[in-house]
Amino acid sequence: MKLDPVTLAVMNSRLAAIAEEMGVVLGLTGYSPNIKERHDFSCAVFDGKGELVAQAAHIPVHLGSTPLSVRAALERLDLRPGDVAAVNDPFAGGTHLPDLTLVAPIFIGNRSRPFAFVANRAHHADIGGMAPGSMALASEIYQEGFRLPPVKIVERGKISRDVLALFLANTRVGEERQGDLRAQLGALSVGAERLRELVASQGRARIARAMESLKDYAARLMSAELRRLRPGIYAAEDFLDDDGFGATRIPIRVRVEIARGRATVDFTGSSPQVRGNVNANYAITLSATFYVMKCMAAEAVPANEGLMRPIKVIAPEGTIVNALAPAAVAGGNVETSQRIVDVLFRALAKVAPERVPAASSGSMSNLTIGGFDPIRQRHFSYYETIAGGAGAAPGHPGASGIHTHMTNTLNTPIEALEAYYPMRVTEYRVRRGSGGRGLARGGDGLVRELECLVESNVSLLTERRTLRPWGLADGGDGAPGANYLVRGGEAKKLPGKTNVQLKPGDRIRVETPGGGGWGRAGSRTGRKREANRRAT
């Protein structure tokens, strides 16, 4: 059965719409501010082989890695009708422990094998571990929280009470976790229902063929895009500030070889895994590569498994880009993923300078605050990634105060934050002048300052506090970020990665990095490059 281009486009949109609707349901029914306000989750549809066929425009770092979690669940479990698998293990396709992935099979008729799968991944604001929020400065994964290999959280339509009890016993905020978990299950139910409706209206064979055709189409498009690039080997390196335990200027190196419509992305030469929690597992490295290669395409390539067929990723085991257990990995997901994107763009700027922006803020600037609220008589765990400046591109200044690359969340509105947590927002503004100078200026970062009204534990997991986001084409670097503890009117600068105990009235202040600039402002070279860009 051949599908014409129009039918293929319609099928792509219909499958993606199922993932989008799952996200709407998850956002509306989520219990915690991190889910219902920040939308820190992702949803996707997989075929009967467990290969990604459609995803919503949610969190890039989730979506490129979720297929490995689905694969792990299918390898270890026999999923039957009414079952739902749960996994957060970073060494079984997960990202970091707070990200819980649920996978549900979809059976059509009396067939014994699943026709497809729906999955979602949501960041739970506390999953246990040595500090509230499960994002502390840790040296091994056992300190980071509850680690869940693929298990059945639902079996034959009923929640497994033992697994749920185990899950809730390992978090400080059980009611919140249970609410978010049920929202995830509800979203899966809607996704399964919509896919069954699509099969009922179009036929099983037609939908199965569409799924295969879409993957083939994405592979052909990506290969065609690679053929448009000049063959060659393009290398680059970039660095993480530190690991919080003394290691500094941690290198990530890449060689991208492009030839005959294929690309080999080789991270050999990157740092060995480190003691701190900035280690990334293979799923993260694969996810970042997926994102960058999709961005490099001039045409809209469907975001499915086929996109990566022409691309080989080499990430040596035991390195910062493919860490082995029991490495701590909380920051690998949120910080190292950003640097992998940076180093890939830096390499590809040499072959496609008109498409690549300067470095963006390069950090999700993770802030976690937790403790006990005596007024509401409950434990709380607040988690936020704070936006920064976007890198400038040829002819385009970078946006200010925006999440870039591997993150795509919203902020927690001040009203929601103050209503739910014992905290007060004392300052929230754009950090003017933090973007890099250039013919096109980099975007500015943000300043976010919170006052804790009760004794609290704070974890900061941030990058680009010493090394600046770089500019391109002689553009200036963005300003580095900074973290402060304000106590008694005195501001004390904090490391990029630290755990701090706060007293009532203490304030935590996060200043996020700006993006790099593009082109030297006022230079003849910069003007010539811009004129050439406009002419083409």
Cα-based torsion angle of the residue sequence 332, 338, 341, 345 in order, rounded to the nearest 10 degrees: -150
| 121 vs 88: CA distance, rounded Å | 9
| 375 vs 279: CA distance, rounded Å | 38
Tell me whether residue 230 is exposed, middle or buried, using C-beta atoms within 10 angstroms of its C-beta: 0 to 12, 13 to 18, 19 or more. exposed
Q: State how far Cα 330 lies from the chain centre.
A: 12
pLDDT tens per residue across span 173-196: 999 999 999 999 999 999 999 999
pLDDT reported for residue 378:
95
The type of residue at 366 is N
The yes-or-no verdict on residue 536 having pLDDT over 80 is: no
pLDDT tens per residue across span 322-355: 999 999 999 999 999 999 999 999 999 999 999 9
pLDDT reported for residue 57:
78
Q: Residue 110's pLDDT band (boundaries 50, 70, 90)? A: confident
Q: Residue 495's pLDDT band (boundaries 50, 70, 90)? A: very high
Q: Measured between alpha carbons, how far is residue 2 from residues 6, 198, 207, 210, 307 in Å?
A: 12, 18, 12, 9, 20
| 356 vs 533: CA distance, rounded Å | 13
In 81-150, the DSSP E strands lie at 84-87, 99-106, 116-123
The yes-or-no verdict on residue 66 having pLDDT over 60 is: yes
pLDDT reported for residue 3:
78
The yes-or-no verdict on residue 529 having pLDDT over 80 is: no
Domain segments of the chain as ranges: 5-217, 357-536
Residues with Cβ within 8 Å of residue 154, at least 6 apart in sequence: 82, 83, 84, 104, 160, 185
Burial letters 362-385, b for 16+ CB under 10 A, else e: bbbbbbbbbbebeeeeebbbbbbb
Q: Six-digit token pair at 159?
A: 């929640």
pLDDT tens per residue across span 218-268: 999 999 999 999 999 999 999 999 999 999 999 999 999 999 999 999 999
Burial letters 108-147, b for 16+ CB under 10 A, else e: beeeeebbbbbbbbbbbbbbbbbbbbbbbbbbebebbbbb
Share of the chain above pLDDT 90, in %: 90
Q: Residue 298's pLDDT band (boundaries 50, 70, 90)? A: confident
pLDDT tens per residue across span 507-525: 999 999 999 999 998 765 5
pLDDT tens per residue across span 438-481: 999 999 999 999 999 999 999 999 999 999 999 999 999 999 99
β partners of residue 429: 447
β partners of residue 73: none
CB contact at 8 A, 134 and 100: no
The type of residue at 39 is H
Q: Measured between alpha carbons, how far is residue 248 from residues 253, 267, 278 in Å?
A: 15, 19, 12
Residues with Cβ within 8 Å of residue 348, at least 6 apart in sequence: 234, 256, 292, 296, 355, 356
Residue 344: in which H helix or E strand, if any? helix 337-348
pLDDT reported for residue 61:
80
Residues with Cβ within 8 Å of residue 475, at least 6 apart in sequence: 358, 392, 436, 437, 438, 439, 440, 442, 516, 517, 518, 519, 520
What does the radius of gyration of the chain's CA atoms come to, in whole angstroms? 23
| 168 vs 377: CA distance, rounded Å | 18
The yes-or-no verdict on residue 360 having pLDDT over 60 is: yes
HEC per residue, 421-483: CCEEEEEEEEECCCCCCCCECCCCEEEEEEEECCCEEEEEECCCCCCCCCCECCCCCCCCCEE
Is the model's pTM score more than 0.75?
A: yes
Q: Residue 527's pLDDT band (boundaries 50, 70, 90)? A: low
Q: Measured between alpha carbons, how far is residue 117 from residues 40, 91, 196, 216, 416 in Å?
A: 21, 21, 11, 19, 34
Q: Do you find a cis peptide bond into 302, omega within 30 degrees of 0?
A: no
**Residue 498: Cβ within 10 Å count:** 16
Q: State how far Cα 332 lies from the chain centre.
A: 10
pLDDT tens per residue across span 202-223: 999 999 999 999 999 999 999 9
Q: Residue 532's pLDDT band (boundaries 50, 70, 90)? A: low
For 374-389, what is the mean pLDDT?
Answer: 96
Residues with Cβ within 8 Å of residue 200, at least 6 apart in sequence: none
Q: Measured between alpha carbons, how far is residue 190 from residues 62, 182, 203, 475 in Å?
A: 20, 13, 19, 48
pLDDT tens per residue across span 112-159: 899 999 999 999 999 999 999 999 999 999 999 999 999 999 999 999
Q: Taking all residues of the chain, what is their mean pLDDT, rounded to a whole number?
A: 94
Q: Six-digit token pair at 271?
A: 């740092």
pLDDT reported for residue 491:
97
The yes-or-no verdict on residue 533 having pLDDT over 60 is: no
pLDDT reported for residue 237:
98
The yes-or-no verdict on residue 506 having pLDDT over 90 is: yes
